């Protein structure tokens, strides 16, 4: 099929096709530019971006995606204006409040990764609440990264391992890849198979630094508020042809 990811209007089957990609991680970038292009405030782009997540969440299980991990706010995003940061935190809280029933009905298990200590206590409570409420769901595992940074996560895991070792809760054997991985925020998640970044930027911006060591990457110029389930289907379709060797030889 003559498809490039720069042509999202091209259609591919979306529903009922298992593309064999179990864990998709998305760096949802480009909300600000999407709004600025229209002469709108950046928050309008973030609101539209949150709407997009809903569509992707609804469509993903029918494409065979069982794990969806999305980057919503990085440890570096605090550098933005107070208005934008508070606006984003409000969008996250509203998303949880308004979507809770639908997520539960869709069979979505929701989790969060990132350092929670710096978040507003009401938002942190909403996050724990929906994690508990959806803990029994299995159709789709949706993980949202809020105040997440790969380096921050690794530093926290290393500190935890050091404390556990000092207290005797960890042994020599835990001073290993497995011992560190068990202390990451992603302990319950498989590694991502595919990381998609929207908006044309070709960097990882501190997302899943440890977990994506062998992930495939796909960069699309589409701004996140324009990203559709159809484009996701096209990307997954293309992924099927890639040979993943994990360091082995042919």
CB of 76 to ligand IPE, least distance (A): 6
User: Which of residues 8 and 149 has its CB atom nearest to ligand IPE in the complex?
Assistant: 149
206 is catalytic: no
101 is catalytic: no
Could you give the string, one character per residue 9-38, with x where binding to ligand IPE holds by CB under 6 A and - elsewhere?
Answer: ------------------xxxxxxx-----
Catalytic residue of the set 7, 10, 18, 29? 29
CB of 61 to ligand IPE, least distance (A): 23
Residues facing residue 143 across a β-bridge: 69, 111
Strand 194-197 and strand 23-27: pairing? parallel
Judged by CB under 6 A, the chain residues 56 through 95 that form the site for ligand IPE are 71-74, 77, 88
Which of 196, 71, 34 minimizes the C-alpha distance to 145?
71
Cα–Cα distance, 47 to 45 (Å, whole number): 5
Sheet holding 67-74, edge to edge: 108-113, 140-148, 67-74, 23-27, 194-197, 216-219
Beta strands of the chain (E only): which ranges? 23-27, 67-74, 108-113, 140-148, 194-197, 216-219
Judged by CB under 5 A, the chain residues 17 through 46 that form the site for Mg ion are 29
For Mg ion, the binding residues (CB under 5 A) are 29
Q: Which residues bind ligand IPE (CB under 6 A)?
A: 27-33, 71-74, 77, 88, 199, 201, 203, 205
Which residues are marked as active site? 29, 77
């Amino acid at each position: 099929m003559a498809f490039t990811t720069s042509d999202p209007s091209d259609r591919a089957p979306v529903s009922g096709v298992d593309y064999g990609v179990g864990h998709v991680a998305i760096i949802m970038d480009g909300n600000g530019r999407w709004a600025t292009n229209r002469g709108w405030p950046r928050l309008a782009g973030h609101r539209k971006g949150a709407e997009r997540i809903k569509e992707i969440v609804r469509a993903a299980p029918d494409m065979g995606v069982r794990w969806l991990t999305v980057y919503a706010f990085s440890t570096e995003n605090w550098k933005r204006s107070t208005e934008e940061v508070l606006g984003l935190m409000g969008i996250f809280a509203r998303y949880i409040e308004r979507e809770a029933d639908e997520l539960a009905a869709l069979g979505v298990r929701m989790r969060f990764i990132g350092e929670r200590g710096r978040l507003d206590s009401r938002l942190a409570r909403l996050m724990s609440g929906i994690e508990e409420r959806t803990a029994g769901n299995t159709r789709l595992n949706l993980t949202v990264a809020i105040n997440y940074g790969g380096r921050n996560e690794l530093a926290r895991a290393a500190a935890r391992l050091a404390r556990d070792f000092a207290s005797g809760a960890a042994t020599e054997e835990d001073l290993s890849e497995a011992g560190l991985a068990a202390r990451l925020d992603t302990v319950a998640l498989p590694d991502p198979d595919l990381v998609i970044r929207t908006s044309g930027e070709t960097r990882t911006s501190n997302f899943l630094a440890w977990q994506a060591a062998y992930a495939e990457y796909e960069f699309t110029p589409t701004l996140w508020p324009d990203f559709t389930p159809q484009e996701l289907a096209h990307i997954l379709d293309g992924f099927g042809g890639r040979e993943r060797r994990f360091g082995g030889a042919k």
